[in-house]
Amino acid sequence: MTYPPNVRTAPPSAPTRAPAAPPAGPPPSAPPVRHGAWAETTERLRTAATTEPGRLRIIGAALALLVVAFGAVTAWEAADRFSAADDVVSRSQPLSADAASIYRSLADADTAAASGFLAGAEEPRAVQQRYRDDIETASRLLVKAATHTDGAGESGLQIATLNEGLPRYTGLIERARANNRQGLPLGGAYLRYANQQMTNELLPAAERLYAAETDRLARDNDDARLWPFVSLVMGVLAFGGLLWAQRRNYLRTNRVFNQGLLAATAASTVLLLWLAVGQTVARTELNNAQKHGQASLKVLNEARINSLKARANENLTLVARGAVLTPDGKNDKYETDYNTGMDRLSAALGEARKLADDSAGGRPVDEAISSVTQWRERHATASGTDKAGDYEGALAKVIGDKESTGQSFDQVDTALERALAQEQVEFTSSASDGRDALTGLAIGAGVLALVAAVGAILGIGRRLSEYR
């Protein structure tokens, strides 16, 4: 073939090949979708729940967890209630009683100091010994209270105040005695100053200490009497769950009893009844201790405090001889305070008589009321003698050995001491019974819950064995 000149032609191209066919076989599968652990567990449970053995396993695990939770919560709440009740018996109430004794010892020491001063330069040995015993008792009880209280709390602050002020007070009393032995009038000034410190600093601190310990006693008592609602609810749920499981077993197998589930139900029932009855008895006894014991103790302590205040003011009426007046300047301050104290004493004794629930507690209160009436009559006679200008005669009627107001005060104090001892016995007995009603419940809850859990598992396991 002839080509035109100057024309180039491309070389013939190579033949085009068809693309290779894909290899035979199924297409590659997509990577598997990974689920979380929770989703996989849920899926397995859902799958298991579609079969009777799977459902039985779920029921057995749920029952075991339910009775174990019931036992654990019951053990915790029972231990908490027992601890609070034990605090009432062994810590709170004894500390409250000690605080009242601290107040009583301080007030009685002040009264004894004034009585010794009125006796003259030769202070009677019995009066001196009474004063020393009161100071030693107060000091000992303050040390005891300090070891059982938080130094940063209200009780700790009041104990610190008393420990700081008591040495100053005793120092003033010794100065008053020294001047009185020398026949110097300055002794009376020291005694009045000591009484002011006792009245304005020490006794208010002791009263605040008593109030703080009484409040703590009330809190512990409330905690011990609190119903264990969570435990009771858990117990009802566990009992209901076990009954449902047994009914389900009966409907599916026509068998009346499953020994494992029956044992679990019995253990749960015993624990539920123990919890309900124990807490009911504890509440009843602690309520009785509070109503007939602590309430009476509080009123009787108030009566004793007011009697001591009245006696101290009666003595100081003769020591001051009208030198200290009320803020309005019209009346003798100590005579006015005496009358106020006696009015409060009578009111407290009336309340104590209402609270006395037996003759053993009411008899000493009646004696105290009778002695208060006598005390008022003798005081009126002594006051009239003093106003008539017979100071020595009035002194004999106040601190004398026969038919004096001092004798009436001692009768009141002795009667109140016996009444307090009787009410203390009743309180301790009732509170101890309340605490004892909860004894062993915490440990018993753990044991019975374990028995119930094992019983539930064995009972369900028996049913599972029928599918193998």
- Give 196-252 as a DSSP string: HHIIIIIHHHHHHHHHHHHHHHHHHHHHHH---HHHHHHHHHHHHHHHHHHHHHHHH
Beta carbons of 108 and 308 less than 8 angstroms apart: yes
Q: What is the pLDDT of residue 10?
A: 47
Which string of b and e fits 448-466 if b means at least 16 CB within 10 Å?
A: bbebbbbbbbbbbeebeee
187/165 Cα distance (integer angstroms):
20
Kindly give the residue spans of alpha helices, DSSP state H, lying in 321-332.
none
Low-confidence residues of the chain, pLDDT below 70?
A: 1-37, 44-50, 121, 151, 254-256, 322-323, 464, 466-468
**332 phi and psi angles, rounded to 5 deg:** -65, 125
* Of 195, 207, 96, nearest in space to 161 by CA: 207
Cα atoms in the 13 Å half-sphere on the side-chain side of 276: 11
Residue-wise DSSP of 70-107: HHHHHHHHHHHHHHHHHHIIIIIHHHHHHHHHHHHHHH
88/221 Cα distance (integer angstroms):
6
Read off the pTM.
Answer: 0.75
164: tokens are 């700081």
Q: 466: helix, coil or strand?
A: coil
**Tens of pLDDT along 314-345?**
887 887 776 677 777 777 788 888 889 999 99
**Tens of pLDDT along 368-396?**
999 999 999 999 998 888 888 888 888 88
Beta carbons of 112 and 131 less than 8 angstroms apart: yes
* Of 211, 176, 220, nearest in space to 195 by CA: 176
* Of 198, 201, 427, 208, nearest in space to 308 by CA: 198
**Tens of pLDDT along 255-304?**
667 788 898 999 999 999 999 999 999 999 999 888 878 888 889 988 98
218: tokens are 């009330």
